[in-house]
Structure 1
Amino acid sequence: MLGVVASGAGGVERLRTGLVAPALERGWRVAVTLTPTAGAWLRRTGEVQRLEELTGLPVRGGPRFPDEARPHPQPDCFVVAPASANTVAKLALGIGDNQALTQVCEAIGTVGLPVVVLPGVNAAHARHPAWEGHLAALRSAGVRLVHGPEVWPLEEPRASVPARELPWAAVLAAVEQATAPPA
């Protein structure tokens, strides 16, 4: 079971075709949770319904009531893609102020549960003085980061090509590496 969490960053509109469908083709069962912004964006375009039809599970965006059953099975791995600068900062600081972040913050603290994060940020975000500290905090917690110029060259704000595809294959490769049995 792959728990996919997405935030409101560029590329989230291709979550279904770029990450979810390929993960299903590789044999994963996929459960999707969206931050409030990503949920609003994908509901507006009909992608939430398409994700639910594809996965056979509800797309989560909010908490459940205590007497309600969990809508998703327990994941064997979490992937956060794309992760906005806001999401990366909150995960690094342990701030779970929505359902998506709560799940991932808990996963980061769960022994043996791999977490993969694709920061979907621009060059200005990465130059912020706190950015490297956020990445270091996530690395120290065992989070696998999919980033760097060889994977995702950063662009200046508003200079991005709209059709630029996120490195979905690199994300799936990191998931498979994180969940491979020890050699």
Structure 2
Amino acid sequence: MTRSVLYLFGSAAPPVQDLPEVVRRAQAEGFDVCVGLTPTAARWLADDIPSLEELTGLPVRSEYKSPGAPDAWPPADGILFAPATFHSINAWALGLTNHFVIGVVAEGIGKRIPTVTMPCVNAAYAAHPQFDRSVATLRGAGVSVLYGPGGFRPNQPGERRAEGYPWHLALGAVTGIAATGP
């Protein structure tokens, strides 16, 4: 049986530190996992990158490859972008692809790659009018945005949740869309 390829992307929010465990859980669900990080998230996880590469058997990417260079990753069957920060959600919705991860998810819309994202924003960021517009834009483009009821709910600035980031919702959603295809 062929395993599905999952691009697991994360931006610089505290739950990105959970990625090694999330990779293991996704692998247990039947995925081959390729890890991509925004530049700040890559700095945060610098010490974990070698173990993530060993775990996945593939390079962790945070930058675009050089023109003409071969792609080190197989094509994606699905994408999970979580945690996705305020900046990442807005840049993606606006098509501002100056970072590798944002470029891949923006292009993924046009390639019709099943994509799930779950923001990680506090209530102050979520109150900004662009955030709701960006969520609506991504949903309108076919991205499954786990935000609001049944997804991520913002906390107050500086407040941590006792229950943590709801990774189970994100993994469940990406497993569902990868099984059904585009």
Fold shared by both chains (TM-score > 0.5)? yes
Aligned equivalent of 2:86: 85
Partner Cα distance (1:130, 1:15) in 2: 28
For 2:10, the equivalent position in structure 1 comes to 6
Structure 2 residue runs of 5 or longer lacking an equivalent are none
Whole-angstrom distance in 1 between the partners of 2:149 and 2:171: 18
Structure 2: distance between partners of 1:165 and 1:20: 17
Instruction: Mark the CA change 1:56 to 1:11 in structure 2 (over 3 Å): closer, same or farther.
Output: same
Q: Which residue pairs with 2:31 in the alignment? A: 28
Identify if the C-alpha distance between structure 1 residues 149 and 158 changes in structure 2 by more than 3 Å, giving closer, same or farther: farther
The one-letter code of the counterpart of 1:137 is T
In 1: Cα distance, 2:44 partner to 2:32 partner? 24
The answer as to 2:36 corresponding to 1:37 is no
Q: How far did 1:164 drift? A: 5.1
User: What is the aligned partner in structure 2 of residue 95 from structure 1?
Assistant: 96
Structure 1 residues not aligned, in runs of 5+: none
Structure-2 residue corresponding to 1:57:
58
Aligned to 1:180, what secondary structure does the other structure show?
A: helix
Q: Secondary structure at the match of 2:104?
A: helix
| TM-score normalised by structure 2 residue count | 0.92
Alignment deviations for residues 138-181 of structure 1 (CA, whole Å, 9 cap, x no partner): 000000011225433321111225x7521111101111221223
Q: Which amino acid aligns with 2:27?
A: L
The CA distance in 1 between the partners of 2:131 and 2:152, in whole Å, is 16
Letter of the 2:178 partner, please give it: T
- Deviation of 1:28 after TM superposition, in Å, equals 0.3
Distance 1:152 1:4 in 2: 17
Corresponding residue of 1:143: 143
Residue type of the alignment partner of 2:153: P
Q: CA deviation at 1:86?
A: 0.1
Letter in 2 for 1:57: L
Over the matched positions of the two proteins, sequence identity in percent amounts to: 37
CA distance in 2, matches of 1:67, 1:143: 29
Question: Match for 2:40: what amino acid?
Answer: T
Aligned to 1:118: 118
By how many angstroms is 1:26 displaced?
A: 1.0
Tell me which residue corresponds to 2:129.
Answer: 129
Q: Residues 89-135 of structure 1: CA distance to partner in whole angstroms, max 9, x if unpaired?
A: 01111111111111111001213x11100101111111111111111
